[in-house]
């Protein structure tokens, strides 16, 4: 006889709190998460990385569910493809301790740190663009460099509204959909952090990792350069606009890298394990000039098409180019309050008109520029005399004389532009500035906003204001100089002294090409005096004027004001003061007394 089993007594379910904001691992496996941050207990027990959805991602998912549309593809399937561990660094770790050299316990090879700038550049060009973004894990580990950029680096030149908006909001917003811009931002953050360490703002107990930090910045800088080349080849208005915004980041990195080299030279020779090459300068003056002139070139290509426009939907589609976890980190950082406190000391901008050297330059500039113009006229007379006694009898000589004439004309034009810059800063009424359209400030930006209005305001030619930094006005001279003058600076400096005479009592004919090239570098040295005035306006321009003038001094201190072709020992060839060197010496003395 079948016996009916007695029903089990009803056992009420214990009240519990549902897990609605659990980590991605627990939600993917539909298990309860204790929602402990930064890592839940279940992930800690399994010794695996733990990652949470951001509030923006949660809002997007819930909004699409409420609207009845198909939900967005989450990070889960993409994570399975890339197998990306999202590592949350400990708050106690210093920024240097989060470098790849520290995280990998120095097991990676350091041979890449010894590569020169040119060799690394050639290596990056040969690699496909997609392969540079394949190591997403490394990018995750280095996102603290983006945080440092947002917390400290972007505050540079914040007193200029257009520059401040571009660096704090406009360009970082583009980085959400452009991995190349993100890499350049991280490179700039690495350079800024290196300067903070060398200047004492960051703890110096991690200086042994400084070489790895500098190499990390160089690596991301090269990826950014490759991204610029890739987008320029598309010749699309949208890509040209992003290239123009991207090039704005490459220029300050070149200047920052120069300052790092200067600070390292002040400390002393690098150790073999520092990963820094102290024998050769990492970036010469020509390199940052090439980048600066490239910014102008991309700007002209971008704004030559008046139909350039990007709506929000295009930027939303480009979010697929960046890994969701990385984009989430960027959006979270961008959504932080603007007035958030920072542990970093803000850079104190001292405008050029307040520089202690400003009155000294103002009282000596007229005579110095007149002497520079006189030197150009003397070289011109020397060239005419040589062409008269050696007339062109064939095509080769004729082409050589035409090239000399073009180079000398470019030097004279560069001198006139320098005089124009002098009048703009010291005598504003003597120079008529062109009137540029006034782009009014729009409403506050959202996380997804069109970059064209702010980029157009940023790219507008600067108008000098004595109460504002003169950095953009001074650097505008580099963009306005002719290409022939720029090509003279690309050549190496000639020997410090000409060839000796054939025998006693006879002087050799001065080398016209040498005199033209020295004239070009003399003009450059005079511009560097204006660069000294802006050395305290930005943290990246502090080591630009004085070191360059010091390097050029052996070529000009004893013969800068000599008449071309004058005999040694004559009254006109006696040692005279070279104005750039005099201003450099005064600036060093003033710096010593102000410290």
HEC secondary structure over 410-438: HHHHHHHHHHHHHHHHHCHHHCCCCCCCC
Write down the pLDDT at residue 377.
93
Angle at 64 between CA 59 and CA 66, to 5 degrees: 95
- Rounded distance, CA 51 to CA 38, Å? 8
Residue 361 contacts residue 221 (beta carbons within 8 Å): no
Write down the pLDDT at residue 390.
75
Residue 203 contacts residue 196 (beta carbons within 8 Å): no
Measure the CA dihedral 73/75/77/81, to 10°. 130
pLDDT digits (tens, 9 = 90+) for 110-131: 333 332 323 323 333 334 444 4
Please choose, from the candidates 177, 292, 284, the residue with its C-alpha nearest in 3D space to the C-alpha of residue 244: 292
The mean of the pLDDT values for the chain is: 70
Least confident of 1-15, 99-113, 252-266, 351-365: 99-113
Helix (H) or strand (E) holding 581: helix 579-594
Joined tokens for residue 59: 């809002």
Instruction: Give the DSSP letter of residue 353.
Output: G
Assign 445 a pLDDT band (cuts: 50, 70, 90): very low
Least confident of 157-161, 340-344, 399-403, 449-453: 449-453
Instruction: Give the DSSP letter of residue 69.
Output: S
Measure the CA dihedral 95/287/557/406, to 10°. -160
The predicted model scores a pTM of 0.67
Using only the alpha carbons of the chain, give its radius of gyration. Answer: 30
Residue 411 contacts residue 517 (beta carbons within 8 Å): no
Provide the 10 A C-beta neighbour count for residue 117: 18
The answer, yes or no, to whether residue 436 has pLDDT greater than 50, is no
Residue corresponding to tokens 């010091």: 550
Joined tokens for residue 78: 């993409």
- Rounded distance, CA 257 to CA 519, Å? 28
Provide the 10 A C-beta neighbour count for residue 542: 21
Name 60's Cβ contacts closer than 8 Å, sequence gap at least 6.
Answer: 72
Write down the pLDDT at residue 298.
73
Residue 99 contacts residue 110 (beta carbons within 8 Å): no
DSSP per-residue letters across 240-291: HHHHHHHHHHHHHHHHHHHHHHHHHHHH-SPPTTS----SS-SS-HHHHHHH
Residue 451 DSSP SS3: coil
Please choose, from the candidates 319, 163, 133, 294, the residue with its C-alpha nearest in 3D space to the C-alpha of residue 228: 294
Torsion sign across C-alpha atoms 59, 62, 66, 70? positive
Joined tokens for residue 414: 């560069």
Joined tokens for residue 102: 């520290």
Q: Give yes or no for a cis peptide into 410 (omega within 30° of 0).
A: no
pLDDT digits (tens, 9 = 90+) for 222-245: 888 888 888 877 767 777 788 888
pLDDT digits (tens, 9 = 90+) for 348-361: 667 778 888 899 99
Residue 553 contacts residue 578 (beta carbons within 8 Å): yes
- Rounded distance, CA 170 to CA 242, Å? 11
Question: Could you tell me the domains of the chain?
Answer: 26-74 (4.10.240), 92-334 (no CATH), 352-434+445-497+510-594 (no CATH)
pLDDT digits (tens, 9 = 90+) for 312-323: 344 444 444 677
- Rounded distance, CA 465 to CA 199, Å? 30
The pLDDT of 513-535, averaged and rounded, is: 91
- Rounded distance, CA 80 to CA 549, Å? 56
Name 342's Cβ contacts closer than 8 Å, sequence gap at least 6.
Answer: 151, 152, 155
Number of H helices, E strands in the chain: 25, 0
Residue 513 contacts residue 555 (beta carbons within 8 Å): no
The answer, yes or no, to whether residue 513 has pLDDT greater than 60, is yes
Residue corresponding to tokens 């976890």: 325
The answer, yes or no, to whether residue 154 has pLDDT greater than 90, is no
Residue corresponding to tokens 């050589």: 400
């Amino acid at each position: 006889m079948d016996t009916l089993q007695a029903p089990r007594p009803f056992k009420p379910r214990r009240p519990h709190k549902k897990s609605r904001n659990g980590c991605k691992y627990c939600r993917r496996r539909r298990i309860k998460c204790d929602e402990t941050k930064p890592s839940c207990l279940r992930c800690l027990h399994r010794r695996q990385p733990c990652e949470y959805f951001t509030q923006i991602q949660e809002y997007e998912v819930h909004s699409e569910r409420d609207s009845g549309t198909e939900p967005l593809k989450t990070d889960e399937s993409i994570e399975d493809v890339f197998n990306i561990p999202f590592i949350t660094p400990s708050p106690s770790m210093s920024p240097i301790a989060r470098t790849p050299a520290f995280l990998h316990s120095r097991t990676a090879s350091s041979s890449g740190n010894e590569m020169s700038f040119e060799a690394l550049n050639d290596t990056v060009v040969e690699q496909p663009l997609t392969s540079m973004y394949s190591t997403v894990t490394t990018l995750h580990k280095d996102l603290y460099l983006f945080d440092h950029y947002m917390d400290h680096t972007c505050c540079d030149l914040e007193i200029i509204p257009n520059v401040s908006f571009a660096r704090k909001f406009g360009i970082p917003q583009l980085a959400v959909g452009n991995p190349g811009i993100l890499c350049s931002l991280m490179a700039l953050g690495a350079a800024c952090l290196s300067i903070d360490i060398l200047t004492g703002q960051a703890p110096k107990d991690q200086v042994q990792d400084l070489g790895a930090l500098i190499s990390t910045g160089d690596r991301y800088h090269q990826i950014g350069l490759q991204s610029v080349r890739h987008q320029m080849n598309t010749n699309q208005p949208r890509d040209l606009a992003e290239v123009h915004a991207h090039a704005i980041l490459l220029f300050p990195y070149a200047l920052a890298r120069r300052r790092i080299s200067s600070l390292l030279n002040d400390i002393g020779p690098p150790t073999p394990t520092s990963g820094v090459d102290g024998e050769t300068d990492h970036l010469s003056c020509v390199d940052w000039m090439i980048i600066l002139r490239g910014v102008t070139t991309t700007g002209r290509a971008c704004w030559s098409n008046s139909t350039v426009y990007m709506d929000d939907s295009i930027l939303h589609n480009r979010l697929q180019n960046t890994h969701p976890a990385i984009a989430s980190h960027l959006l979270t950082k961008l959504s932080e309050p603007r007035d958030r406190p920072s542990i970093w000391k803000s850079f104190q901008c001292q405008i050029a008109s307040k520089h202690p050297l400003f009155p000294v330059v103002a009282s000596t500039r007229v005579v110095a520029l007149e002497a520079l113009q006189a030197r150009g006229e003397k070289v011109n007379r020397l060239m005419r005399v040589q062409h008269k006694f050696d007339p062109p009898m064939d095509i080769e000589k004729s082409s050589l004389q035409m090239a000399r004439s073009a180079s000398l004309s470019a030097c004279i034009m560069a001198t006139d532009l320098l005089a124009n810059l002098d009048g703009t800063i010291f005598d504003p009424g003597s120079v008529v500035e062109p009137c540029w359209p006034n782009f009014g400030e729009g409403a506050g930006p959202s996380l997804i906003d069109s970059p064209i209005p702010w980029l157009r305001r940023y790219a507008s030619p600067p108008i000098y204001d004595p109460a504002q930094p003169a950095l953009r006005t001074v650097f505008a001279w580099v963009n306005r100089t002719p290409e022939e003058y720029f090509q003279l600076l690309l050549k190496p400096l000639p020997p410090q002294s000409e060839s000796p005479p054939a025998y006693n009592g006879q002087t050799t004919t001065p080398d016209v090409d040498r005199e033209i090239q020295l004239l070009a570098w003399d003009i450059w040295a005079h511009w560097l005096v204006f660069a000294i005035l802006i050395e305290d306006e930005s943290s990246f321009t502090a080591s630009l004027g004085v070191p360059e003038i010091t390097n050029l001094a052996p070529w000009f201190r004893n013969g800068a004001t000599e008449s071309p072709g004058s005999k040694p020992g004559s009254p006109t060839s006696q040692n005279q003061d070279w104005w750039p060197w005099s201003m450099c010496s005064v600036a060093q003395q003033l710096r010593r007394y102000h410290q």
